[in-house]
Amino acid sequence: MRALIMTLALLLQAPSSPQRVTPPPVGDAALALSVDVSLVNVLFTVSDRKGRFVTSLPMEKFRVFDDNKKQVITHFSSETEMPLTIALLIDSSGSIENKVDFEQEAAIKFLKSVLRERIDRALLITFDLRVNLLQDYTDDIAKLARAAERITVGGGTPLYDAVFLTATEKLARQPGRRIAIVISDGMDTTSRKSLNEALRAAQQNDTTIYCISTNSIRREYMGSDSGNKVLRKLAEETGGRAFFPSKAKDLDTVFKKLNEELGAQYTLAYGPGETLQDGAFHRIRIETDDRQLRIQARNGYFAGRRDGQR
């Protein structure tokens, strides 16, 4: 089967029916990624020991390290009013056949609770045998809700491909905070990309991933534990969070927490100089003097190579 590349021009069309895409083989030159900018941007939250978000700290309270080297913070702000660019990714594979109603309800409730009209934008993608764009960017919640109601169950589960393509083709270069919401059981079966490649794409494109697991509703699926580990890894290594609701009515609590977190984010930026183009993975660490506070942020980024190689 000839592999197709999901191009930005194709995806920017508002589809009247789902667009289906198969990612190219690993290593395709068209999807080579690099970070060739002068600044590293990091979204993060600060919470106390009781899990309450702290939102009023000044820049002077923070220190940032790149591979254990202290950096100069050049930009700093609270992200509460900054626009959200949201990609909602919903697992529509055969493994969630008895959970599709749960996912539809989750999608609609999330959009109603988070999206701010004329400020934020969201799109809806499902993944089964392929990655499908059901609704491109819009601030119209009704359109997104109608798209969610059209979700039907398919075959395999290309979770990693969906994350990779969303980060590189849809969220890349978008303004504001780039957020991916993944609703899935976490059990990838058909991706050409690996979990590490999906994570690398998200990190290189400043994408924060939040995951909502469907595994807690019914525990008979043997892969649920490993699936939850995948969802937790996707979230934690990009600075997001994974949620594990046990039933649909628990979603209100999940969305309240997610809404609160998105409204409590800070952002900072720094320029590590020549090392930004060394092609290596760089660990990011943010510290504050107050030992009672916990900082949540992505753990690092992949720098591009000056010669264009990885």
Which percentage of the chain shows pLDDT scores above 70? Answer: 79
pLDDT of residue 216: 74
Please give the pLDDT value at position 58: 93
List C-alpha distances in Å: 49 to 43, 53, 54, 244, 295: 20, 10, 11, 21, 11
Which position has the higher pLDDT, 156 or 10? Answer: 156
**Is 10's pLDDT higher than 60?**
no
pLDDT at 107: 77
Structural domain boundaries in the chain: 40-80+267-302, 82-262
pTM: 0.81
Model confidence pLDDT, tens digit, residues 28-64: 322 323 334 578 889 999 999 999 999 989 999 999 9
Query: CA torsion, points 190, 192, 196, 199, in degrees to nearest 10?
Result: -90
Q: Is 132 helix (H, G, I), strand (E, B) or coil?
A: strand
Q: Higher-confidence residue: 196 or 105?
A: 196
Q: Span 249-278, mean pLDDT?
A: 81
pLDDT, tens only, 268-278:
999 876 656 66
Residue-wise pLDDT for 83-121, tens only, equals: 899 999 999 887 666 677 777 777 777 788 788 888 899
Is 82-262 CATH 3.40.50.410? Answer: yes
93, 156 contact by CB (below 8 A) = yes
pLDDT band at residue 249, thresholds of 50, 70 and 90? confident
Over 50: is that where the pLDDT of 211 sits? Answer: yes
Task: Quote the CA–CA distance of 253 and 215 in Å, as a whole number.
Answer: 17
Pairing assessment for the beta strands 40-47 and 266-270 based on DSSP bridges = antiparallel
Query: Which token pair is 190?
Result: 């058909």
Average pLDDT over residues 56-82: 90
Identify the CA nearest to 41 among candidates 92, 82, 90: 82
Q: Give the pLDDT band (50/70/90) at residue 222.
A: low
Please give the pLDDT value at position 33.
Answer: 31
Q: Residue 2: its pLDDT value, please?
A: 35
In this structure, is the dihedral angle defined by the CA atoms of residues 8, 10, 13 and 15, taken in order, positive or negative? negative
Distance CA 270, CA 204 (A): 15
Confidence at residue 4, expressed as pLDDT on a 0 to 100 scale: 33
